[in-house]
Structure 1
Amino acid sequence: MERVFRNSSYLNAMSTTGTRTKVKDVNPQSGMCPICIKDCPFLCEIGLSTFRGREVLYPDPEYFGDSTASGLKDYGLDWSHFNILSRLIGAEGVEPDPDKMLFPNVNVESSIGGIRVKLPLAIGAYGSTDVAKKYWDGIAVGAALAGVILIVGENVCGVDPKSEFKDGKVIKSPEMERRVKLFREFWDGKYGDIAVQTNIEDQRVGVDEYVLSKLEVNIIERKWGQGAKAIGGEIRINSLERAIELKKRGYLIIPDPEDPDVQQAFKDGAFKTFERHSRVGSPTKSDVIEDVEMLREMGAKVVTIKTGAYRPVDVAWTMKVASEARVDYITFDGAGGGTGMSPVPMMNEMGVPTVYLEAIVLKAARMLKEQCKFVPDISMAGGFIDETQIFKAIAMSNFGEGPFVKTITMGRAPLTAVMKASNFCELAEKGKLPKEFVRRFGDSPEKFFIMADELKAKYGDKVGREIPWAAVGLYTYLDRIKCGLKQLMAGARKFRLDLIDRSDLAALKPLASEVTGIPMIHEVDKDIFELILGSDSDEMDKYF
């Protein structure tokens, strides 16, 4: 646990807010320089807050709309504190034949809430923040091609400047229509699907009914929280007129855009953006059950819940109520990162980190199963970027009868892939690609996207046009994860996703073992180890 306490020095200097200290040997408790001087030319958290106040609670506003953010804190326990155990003898899910035990033969398909996916992934939720809107083409088409679930986040209809309302209910949102349509243009109708996430604001203006009836969306995801924050969704608005419009639509806008003094301060340049906040809820059991029934009556084929890194008692309550309401699946999002705008101190210091959270969720799931209660499928979220973490999270959830965790939900990483792809394609058009990049990979998207030929063989001239290069970038990134997951599973001699289990993992530190119940490496196979060495060589096989 030492690292958790040692890294408090980040408190006064964070890249998230663009702050730094004059010296590196800061006070380990406060993060302040041992000697603070008047003429210091740098802005630490204290210094920047002196001038910008509440603005410093959030990631650097200069990059809003073109960035994602996360916490910096080391929680002392993460997926790196477990190792995947490889096998030599035997195989599951395929005949133990060298000609068949090839990693491309591994099946990584999964199903969550009845939705089949080509690999165990959902991506999102990408809501009303500008970064989602700007890069949606690449996100939507890439997700559809990859055969995964894509989640449209909260507040899209409410923030869409072209939305139309009647009697307080949305009847048209061009932005929502665009998001759904782009995914479905390249969706095969078999793998993955598009989900729409709705919060309290969305429910009030009838987003559920609109997307189910008018856009024929199949999946509604109720938003209860996320790992980055335990308060409602937030965005920045750089227009006074937009701020006033959103206030009239019922949102909380800070500062008040209708206040004459605030308007003058904005025009004078004292601040450049307004904050838009969403309300938070406090669900009750009866409300949840009635809500799920109502959504199904409206036409929702799948009803899910997205919840955050809340304390253990809230996890227990969520699992219990979701079981009684027969929610199809729940996404639990561990602390501390988000795709849009979240308070930096909250990302660092509030919530249950992902590994701890999964351990709590699994305890609840097992207790419900022991009581013969309905157990919703689970998707875990919170800092996932690659196949090693995905393997560990799913394997940890399998106690012998199949995994409780059916998919992993990723937010920041897929968006980063799309942003990176977009940027390098723009550089290629301008002839400004880094020389070393050109030397290694080529000077055009057709050359530097390794999956371009495969997609062109299937979609022809659509690649680079209807299929934007940013989508090719996301597809390529997800293909890497798919291939890497197959390799790991082949190494564990498990050739089907539902076969990986807790026996495929070992803890590397006592805390990891204590929290999850996964044994330390030196404890794995201890009894069988001794039986094998103490038995007749002709009897060894019976222990495998």
Structure 2
Amino acid sequence: MSLNPGIASSFNETKTRSHTLSPQSGMCSFCTADCPGTCEIGLSAVLGAQSVYPTTTGNNQIASEKDYPLDYSHFNINGRVFGAQGVPAGTDQAAIFNVRLERTLGRRHPVKIALPVILPALLKMNWQDYFAGAAMAGVCCVIGEGSPSKDPALQMRNGKIAEFPYLNEIMDAFRRYYRGYGQIVPQANFEEDGQGLPEYAVSRCGAEAIEFKFGQSAKGTQPVTRLKDYDAALKKKATGALVHPDPEDPAVRAAAERGEAPNFYAYGRLPMWDEEYLVTRIGMLRDMGLKNVYFKMAGFDPVDIERVLRIAASAEVDVVTFDGAGGGSGYSPCKMMNEWGLPTVPLESTVCGIARRLRREGLELPSMVITGGFATEDQVFKALALGAPGFQAVGLCRAAMAAANSAKKVGELIEAGNIPTYLQKYGDSKETLFADLPDLRHLYGKEAESFPAGAIGVFSYLNRIAMGLRHFAALNRKFDVSLLGPDDLIPLTPEAAKLLAGR
């Protein structure tokens, strides 16, 4: 059976003419000369290199379309009927609401989270409610790479960030609702590190943490952007960006003057960090007041995974997030989202094996987070169980943003007096429709009634995750999520059984 998702994709709103496909190529088995080219090949014949990237980016979310042969659905959740761990084995104490979900991340300056979840790097669509909801729920969240490019007031001097007022606005979306749990973390890729984003974030914006990005499940390379024309290429190069071909090359300039210039592309620099640089760099930032250091790592080669963990141990990094294929971005190459990297279950298993070996060597490892394709509490439970004890939390990215977007839309419909039919049976106002608003009012007082609907939606969605986790943990008579382990899972396939046996 082929795992090929075919050459029709929502990434580019393409489709195949026939429902009968050639399994290896993904093309229609019957390809006619009369076809106008509605598939990926047809689009490529028109857009060329541009079709490597999705054409449906912007105010949308995009994720892998490939059906990987092993995922968390290949496990069921175990259950037990005797005793209790984490609380006295009595009917009053061994209750669902006594399941402890709090975790602590980090080493030098531990960060408490109210449930074993973080919201990974993002800075598109409704980021305001995404970060606000994280604070309300008491979890960490990460400001995605590329944040300086979003600020029209950005000022650069000698290749360094001099003014970046937008960053304070972004961070305030979280800080406004901070209640003692979680942390908002600006992310820096290799290019932004060279531009001094970490220094600016710490010294000018009061950032307590920085995440260094090695890669993500959807994007192992930095993006390539087609520029409008020769003048745009010159302007882009003047900012310090890499531009291909070089618009200042005499031959390219001459071609432009003749009206024969090729396409120009700007592209981000690949990370070229090493141990010596990162240890020194992190030490310098800590001297400036940085408290916590995060790494973002994707499903790269296991040799690279081990090297990142060794660097993290050496530099006393607090958290490493591992992001498994297939991922979602919208700014990643279409086929990279589908076809590269370790999928989440094999990635988690691989990291656990490496971590066990490093601990036997005596290394003190960072807290670890797994992300990549999670949306519901059963998936979160399975990942925590499979990854125990090394993985302390699960990243919920696209799902949390979906909650922010949908709840914001519902709020707008309430204000317009146009409540969707499917919701009318639950209430007719913000007060009656948003069922977890009383919990927010209990935390923040009556001011919670004026909180943005999208942020309430993120809080409510994560509240659902928390309630579901409590049920599954109590089912296994484990009343602290730190007690979860592989014995809480039942493999359903030979591949799942083999992987679980290795844990």
Do both share a fold (TM > 0.5)? yes
Q: Which residue of 1 aligns with 2:333?
A: 343
Q: Which residue of 1 aligns with 2:41?
A: 46
Q: CA separation in 2, counterparts of 1:428 and 1:235?
A: 39
Q: In percent, how many aligned pairs have the same letter?
A: 36
The aligned amino acid for 2:478 is K
Q: Does 1:473 align with 2:468?
A: no
Name the CA shift for 1:489/1:254 in 2 (closer, same or farther; >3 Å).
farther
Q: Does 1:378 align with 2:368?
A: yes
Shift of the alpha carbon at 1:183? 0.8
Q: Does 1:291 align with 2:281?
A: yes
Q: Does 1:193 align with 2:186?
A: no
1:431-446 equivalences in 2 (<5 Å): 431-435=417-421, 437-446=422-431
Q: Does 1:77 align with 2:70?
A: yes
The C-alpha deviation readout for 1:351-375, integer Å capped at 9, x for no partner, is: 1111111111111110111111111
Q: Does 1:156 align with 2:142?
A: no
Shift of the alpha carbon at 1:491? 0.5
Cα contact 1:296–1:303 (8 A) shared by 2: no
Partner SS, residue 229 of structure 1: coil
Shift of the alpha carbon at 1:379? 0.8
Cα contact 1:137–1:468 (8 A) shared by 2: no
Partner SS, residue 517 of structure 1: helix
Shift of the alpha carbon at 1:329? 1.8
Q: Which residue of 1 aligns with 2:400?
A: 414
Q: Which residue of 1 aligns with 2:130?
A: 139
Name the CA shift for 1:146/1:235 in 2 (closer, same or farther; >3 Å).
farther
Cα contact 2:18–2:30 (8 A) shared by 1: no
Q: What is the TM-score with the length of structure 2 in the denominator? A: 0.90
Partner SS, residue 36 of structure 1: coil
Partner SS, residue 394 of structure 2: strand
Q: Which residue of 2 aligns with 1:121?
A: 117
Question: Which runs of 5 or more residues in structure 1 are unaligned?
Answer: 266-270, 520-544
Q: Which residue of 1 aligns with 2:88?
A: 95
Q: CA separation in 1, counterparts of 2:38 and 2:132?
A: 42
Name the CA shift for 1:491/1:69 in 2 (closer, same or farther; >3 Å).
same
Partner SS, residue 6 of structure 1: coil
Q: Which residue of 2 aligns with 1:24?
A: 19
The C-alpha deviation readout for 1:115-153, integer Å capped at 9, x for no partner, is: 1100011112014xxxx2x41221121111110001111
Cα contact 1:395–1:500 (8 A) shared by 2: yes
Q: Which residue of 2 aligns with 1:360?
A: 350
Q: CA separation in 1, counterparts of 2:329 and 2:228?
A: 19
Partner SS, residue 112 of structure 2: strand
Name the CA shift for 1:207/1:138 in 2 (closer, same or farther; >3 Å).
same
Shift of the alpha carbon at 1:256? 8.6
Tell which deviates more after alignment, 199-208 or 469-478: 199-208
Cα contact 1:512–1:518 (8 A) shared by 2: no
Partner SS, residue 6 of structure 2: helix
Q: Which residue of 2 aligns with 1:534?
A: none
Shift of the alpha carbon at 1:502? 1.7
Cα contact 1:11–1:31 (8 A) shared by 2: yes
Q: Which residue of 2 aligns with 1:213?
A: 203
Name the CA shift for 1:241/1:446 in 2 (closer, same or farther; >3 Å).
farther
Cα contact 1:158–1:202 (8 A) shared by 2: no
Cα contact 1:235–1:340 (8 A) shared by 2: no
RMSD between aligned residues: 2.8
Cα contact 1:107–1:496 (8 A) shared by 2: yes
Name the CA shift for 1:242/1:395 in 2 (closer, same or farther; >3 Å).
farther
Q: CA separation in 1, counterparts of 2:292 and 2:452?
A: 29
Q: CA separation in 2, counterparts of 1:295 and 1:507?
A: 45
Q: Which residue of 1 aligns with 2:319?
A: 329
Cα contact 2:135–2:174 (8 A) shared by 1: yes
Shift of the alpha carbon at 1:74? 1.5
Name the CA shift for 1:394/1:454 in 2 (closer, same or farther; >3 Å).
closer
Shift of the alpha carbon at 1:249? 2.2
Q: Which residue of 2 aligns with 1:65?
A: 58
Name the CA shift for 1:461/1:373 in 2 (closer, same or farther; >3 Å).
closer
The aligned amino acid for 1:30 is S
The C-alpha deviation readout for 1:496-531, integer Å capped at 9, x for no partner, is: 111111211121111112234269xxxxxxxxxxxx
Q: Does 1:172 align with 2:163?
A: yes
Cα contact 1:235–1:341 (8 A) shared by 2: no
Name the CA shift for 1:32/1:204 in 2 (closer, same or farther; >3 Å).
same
Q: Does 1:502 align with 2:486?
A: yes
Cα contact 1:83–1:507 (8 A) shared by 2: yes
Q: Does 1:109 align with 2:119?
A: no
Shift of the alpha carbon at 1:322? 1.9
Q: CA separation in 2, counterparts of 1:82 and 1:264?
A: 63
Q: CA separation in 2, counterparts of 1:292 and 1:251?
A: 24
Tell which deviates more after alignment, 423-432 or 204-213: 423-432
Cα contact 1:48–1:56 (8 A) shared by 2: yes
- What is the number of equivalent residue pairs in this alignment? 493
Name the CA shift for 1:141/1:255 in 2 (closer, same or farther; >3 Å).
farther
Q: CA separation in 2, counterparts of 1:321 and 1:460?
A: 44
Shift of the alpha carbon at 1:164? 2.3
Q: Which residue of 1 aligns with 2:385?
A: 395
Shift of the alpha carbon at 1:380? 0.8
Partner SS, residue 69 of structure 1: coil
Partner SS, residue 331 of structure 1: strand
Correspondent of 2:296 among 303, 306, 316: 306
Shift of the alpha carbon at 1:234? 6.1
The aligned amino acid for 1:29 is Q
Shift of the alpha carbon at 1:321? 2.3
Partner SS, residue 506 of structure 1: strand
Correspondent of 1:14 among 2, 9, 14: 9
Cα contact 1:295–1:303 (8 A) shared by 2: no
Q: CA separation in 2, counterparts of 1:262 and 1:386?
A: 53
Question: Which runs of 5 or more residues in structure 2 are unaligned?
Answer: none
